[in-house]
Amino acid sequence: MAAERAAVAELWLWEDCFLQGGIAAAAVALASTETLTVGLGVLPAPLRNVVTTAMEIATLDAMFPGRIRVGIGHGVQDWMRQAGAAVASPLTLMREYVTALRDLLAGRSVSVGGRYVRLTDVQLDWPPQQRVPVLIGGTGPKTLALAGEISDGVILDAQYTAATLRDALGHVASGRAGGDETPFSTVLFLACDADQVAGSARPYLDAGVDTLVFQPTGPQSVMPHLITAAGDVAA
């Protein structure tokens, strides 16, 4: 695969309604490569039962150990309403969903009677043998703080400048102050052309981003150039 040949470490896939399914696409990318880590950023929580998500992720990790990172988001609310999946409190769903998902992937038996997530003695027969990072994607201050509190990382979209990013990371840090001590990752999607990659990266890395996902702004034909440029930055 071109990304792997270019020494790009990670490929991130976005699940948008009503295009491609993220988990199926991740399976294809993982099967087509040997070392590439694949990120799912993000799966909309309202569309997916948390047990099904845990089973799918555990299956991917069994086939491709240590090569998957999972992002969970609220979903675009207009799309969630179209699909009959919108909830009154997306933040409550996110808290319940991510907490249950992390516990299931850790092999724990989960019983919970939440507002949206209700499980009774659910435990995966074949949980992942290593930690699978579960990140939260979002933009609002409460969601960013929640990501810091209960997840393994935050996923930020391409709307941020280096200056506005610092405010967002401040909200994440406030959540981290009340969270656990597990490793935490900051992933940022950056929309740019191939010739902008090298110059665009540094301000975001200096601001605290540890994973930059370069998002093409042109037609599909520009992808080979973007992949090469991303590999040069990674090197």
| pLDDT tens string 1-47 | 677 777 788 999 988 889 889 999 999 999 999 999 999 989 999 99
Count of domains observed in the chain: 1
99: domain CATH number? 3.20.20.30
Confidence (pLDDT) at 188: 95
Q: How far is CA 119 from the centre of its chain?
A: 24
Please write the tens of the pLDDT for every residue from 147-163. 999 999 999 999 998 88
Q: Strand pairing partners for 70?
A: 40, 134
Cis peptide upstream of residue 117 (ω within 30 degrees of 0) = no
Gap between the Cα atoms of 104 and 108, Å rounded? 5
Q: Which two tokens stand for residue 226?
A: 């973007």
Confidence (pLDDT) at 198: 72
Its domain, for residue 215, covers 2-234
Please tell me the total number of residues recorded for the chain in this structure.
235
Please write the tens of the pLDDT for every residue from 67-123. 999 999 999 999 999 999 999 999 999 999 999 999 999 999 999 999 999 999 999
**H/E run at residue 42:** strand 37-44
The pTM for the full model equals 0.93
Is-contact 33 4, C-beta < 8 A? yes
SS3 83: coil
- Using only the alpha carbons of the chain, give its radius of gyration: 17
Mean pLDDT of all residues in the chain?
92
- Looking at the predicted structure, is the pLDDT value of residue 224 above 80? no
Confidence (pLDDT) at 197: 74
